[in-house]
């Protein structure tokens, strides 16, 4: 039994300032009362669903969300997702995007059906989607064919989303992007400063697709089953920007999977499978997105730049988590911002990734 909810307000869209948005989010977290939000009770879930719930158990979660697995009395299971850090508007937006994605009706794309809403607990219940995530397919030696199909389909779906969400083709907003990177808590060498300046000069005239971005279009948010992909984590904020951001998110996630496997098992044959999967994703996207923006000569370096911006966002968030733990802020307690040791270790790893990305960007920039 679904409760009506207002559509999200598009006026809060973010225009490429993702690092600045990360800083604002960290500033708002200590003041948020969301960490005190109680889990939904069985009686609340039963009232919203209109049927008995046999069991509700914590399943997954992080400092922003809790996910519960529900066992229904009639048989079968469902998933309840609770937004614990955020606002009612963000909750409404996430719900609204589930419906909007379903209405796109793109071949191969499935979106879990919402079964019930509990606005007071910022929780919605949806069907339990079948299948395995793309990272799990990466780890399964016997599922290479499925991995390649899933990644190519993810590329095709992203191309379809971008074509439908493109608002205009225009010059890349280099000034906006430069201001955003300027607030990143990193220390660039003089060489890296020159590479960045050179990139902005080369990108200034590049035409790109502008419109809504999915933002968190990563392989972990997909479940693959019967040649279809279930998209299980809709965006909670409407963001406008250069749509190649989404392409770079998927690719950088797969690159990190390759790095992890290389460090742990440098001679593992699955490394070749990951490279093939990355190529399949790129082919699925490029073969279906129509006219390529930016031009082919700049495409690789623009994608690499957005990988760098994503690393800047992650560095900003990680430094904020470490600072919160050092200052013993309430939000950092009880692992609400993740494992403190892991947060400290992640920062130097992100520094290494930043340096690598700058070297790659320097190589890929057209002369």
State how far the Cα of 80 lies from the Cα of 87, in Å rounded to an integer.
Answer: 17
| pTM for the predicted model, two decimal places | 0.89
Contact 122, 84 (CB under 8 A): yes
Are 7 and 92 contacting, i.e. CB atoms less than 8 angstroms apart? yes
All structural domains of the chain, each given as residue ranges with its CATH number in brackets, are 10-21+40-127 (3.30.200.20), 132-364 (3.90.1200.10)
> Is residue 27 exposed (0-12), middle (13-18) or buried (19+ Cβ within 10 Å)?
exposed
Who's near 367: CB < 8 A, 6+ residues apart? none
**279: three-class secondary structure by DSSP:** helix
pLDDT recorded at residue 6? 40
Per-residue model confidence as pLDDT tens digits over 220-277: 999 999 999 999 888 888 899 999 999 999 999 999 999 999 988 988 889 999 999 9
Residue 341 has pLDDT above 60, yes or no: no
- Radius of gyration for the alpha carbons in the chain, expressed in angstroms and rounded: 21
Report yes or no: 82 and 70 within 8 Å, Cβ to Cβ: no
| Whole-number Å distance between alpha carbons of 186 and 342 | 19
Cα four-point dihedral sign 281, 205, 23, 258: positive
**What confidence tens digit (pLDDT) does each residue in 346-362 have?**
888 999 999 999 999 99
Q: Mean pLDDT across the stretch 110-116?
A: 93
- Tell me the pLDDT of the chain averaged across its residues: 88
* pLDDT tens for each residue of 176-226: 999 999 999 999 999 999 999 999 999 998 999 999 999 999 999 999 999
Half-sphere exposure of residue 99: CA atoms within 13 angstroms, side-chain side? 13
Average pLDDT over residues 22-26: 84
């Amino acid at each position: 039994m679904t409760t009506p909810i207002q559509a999200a307000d598009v006026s809060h869209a973010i225009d490429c300032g993702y690092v600045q948005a990360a800083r604002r989010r960290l500033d708002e977290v200590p003041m948020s009362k969301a960490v005190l939000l109680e889990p939904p009770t069985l009686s609340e879930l039963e009232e919203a669903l209109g049927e008995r719930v046999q069991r509700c158990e914590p399943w997954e979660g992080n400092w922003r969300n809790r996910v519960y697995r529900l066992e229904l009395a009639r048989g079968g299971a469902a998933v309840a997702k609770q937004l614990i850090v955020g606002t009612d508007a963000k909750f409404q937006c996430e719900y609204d995007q589930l419906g909007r994605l379903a209405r796109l009706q793109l071949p191969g794309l499935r979106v879990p059906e919402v079964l019930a809403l509990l606005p007071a607990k910022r929780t919605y219940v949806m069907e339990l989607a079948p299948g395995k995530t793309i990272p799990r397919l990466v780890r399964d030696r016997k599922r290479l064919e499925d991995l390649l199909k899933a990644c190519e389909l993810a590329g095709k779906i992203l191309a379809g989303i971008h074509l439908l969400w493109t608002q205009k083709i225009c010059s890349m907003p280099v000034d906006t992007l430069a201001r955003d990177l300027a607030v990143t808590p990193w220390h660039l060498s003089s060489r890296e400063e020159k590479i960045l300046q050179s990139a902005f000069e080369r990108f200034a005239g590049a035409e790109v697709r502008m419109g809504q971005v999915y933002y968190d279009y990563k392989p972990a948010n997909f479940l693959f089953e019967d040649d279809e992909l279930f998209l299980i984590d809709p965006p909670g904020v409407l963001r406008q920007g250069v749509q190649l951001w989404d392409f770079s998110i998927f690719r950088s996630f797969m690159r990190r999977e390759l790095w992890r496997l290389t460090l742990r098992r440098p001679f593992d044959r699955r490394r070749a499978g990951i490279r093939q999967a990355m190529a399949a994703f790129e082919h699925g996207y490029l073969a279906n997105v129509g006219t390529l923006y930016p031009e082919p000569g700049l495409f690789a370096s623009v994608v690499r730049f957005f990988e760098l911006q994503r690393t800047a966002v992650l560095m900003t968030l990680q430094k904020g988590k470490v600072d919160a733990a050092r200052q013993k802020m309430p939000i950092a307690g009880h692992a609400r911002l993740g494992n403190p040791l892991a947060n400290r270790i992640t920062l130097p790893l992100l520094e290494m990734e930043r340096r690598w990305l700058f070297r790659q960007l320097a190589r890929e920039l057209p002369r």
